[in-house]
Amino acid sequence: MTFDIHPIDRSLQATLQQKIDHLNKPKGSLGRLEELAMQIGLIQHTLSPSLNHPCHLLLGGDHGIEREGVSVSPREVTWQQMINFTHGGGGVNMFCRQHGFTLRIVDVGVDHDLTGVEGIIDRKIARGTRNFLHEAAMTTEQYERALQVGVELVDNCVSQGCQVLSVGEMGIANTSPSSIWMSLLGNIPLDECIGAGAGLDTTGLRHKRAVLTQAVEHYRSLCQAAHTPQLDVEDMIRYFGGFEMVAAIGAMLRGAERGLVVLVDGFIMTACAIAAIRLYPAAKDYMVFAHCGDESGHRRMLDIVGARPLLNLGLRLGEGTGALCAFPLLDSAVRMVREMNNFDTAKITKYF
């Protein structure tokens, strides 16, 4: 699958900057809000940006690597939480209600029969990925299907007037592929990319490092035997990724292609964003990185693509909650450029 993503059109930049500078405030005094207003205005190619019908995709999937004991949480927590989300009882539900997001809960690869559960969109590719300690997590066909799930979900959002997209995940053990992606895409030693996830103790963390190190070494040996590059980005994504993660990449890329503002959440979604940017560098223009979480290495992951997160709240819940918490800042930025008086209308002397 290919995407047609262009760098944002900057032809309005000077005019938009002039409008921002002429608002009745000291020049630059609203800091990051002014930067956000500029980015959103350029994405939408308008001097009066808006944030209509924000949508949040909550993508669920299980991981074969969980069978190796790399997570303190058992895999059944994935499907249990997915059902909990349909009852409105998760953190993601609360924040979506607070900030007016339409929430779509999507089963991309949960290892449980969720058909017939009201409120869950069934896009299941398989009941979890395979164990990448021994083999590729998914086939090429499954990889393409997962991308397509993300594309279709975004197209549905856009058809309802969506201008802002955020993506979250639910998948026990998905910090493991995220750490590997971080290491391989960022050229960072794997040990420095692996954290405690949902709460591993020292012994558990040591075991997780051993398992992931073995998996990467096995992957590299396969690449060497096949005389293929060790960093074919798509192949690496497919080998280690989860169905929910690849669907998130598809959603981010389609969101950029459709000119949406794409809010990027924490550790796992940042890994997905980095993968998306490696595939299509222009996609970064459309991304707003919401926060830096508590997972080990998240700051270094953000540094890989030069991202400046809006928040640093110590969040490590996942689900896209950090992106949702950051939305009011985008709303303030847009309201600033749309609703503030300028020096002329306020009859205030412009003093710079």
Backbone φ and ψ for 212, nearest 5 degrees, come out as -70, -35
- Produce one character per residue of 60-82: b if its CB has 16 or more CB atoms within 10 Å, e if not: bbbbbbbebebbbeebebbbebb
CA–CA distance, 85 with 217 (Å, rounded to integer): 37
CA–CA distance, 268 with 250 (Å, rounded to integer): 14
Q: At which residue do the structure tokens 């020292």 appear?
A: 202
Structure token digits, residue 9: 């059109």
Q: Are 171 and 242 in contact (CB under 8 A)?
A: yes
Q: Are 73 and 198 in contact (CB under 8 A)?
A: yes
Structure token digits, residue 60: 């669920």
Structure token digits, residue 162: 């969506």
Q: Are 166 and 150 in contact (CB under 8 A)?
A: no
Q: Which of 118, 295, 319, 339 is catalytic?
A: 319
3-state secondary structure of 191: helix
Q: At which residue do the structure tokens 């979900």 appear?
A: 153
Residue 106 to residues 13, 21, 175, 238, 296, Cα–Cα distance (Å) = 37, 42, 19, 20, 28
DSSP bridge pairs for 165 = 55, 262
Q: At which residue do the structure tokens 């998760």 appear?
A: 90
Backbone φ and ψ for 55, nearest 5 degrees, come out as -125, 145
Q: Is 319 a catalytic residue?
A: yes
Phi-psi region of 253 (alpha: psi -120 to 50; beta: other; left: phi over 0): alpha
Cα angle: 267, vertex 269, 271; to 5 degrees: 70
Catalytic residues: 319
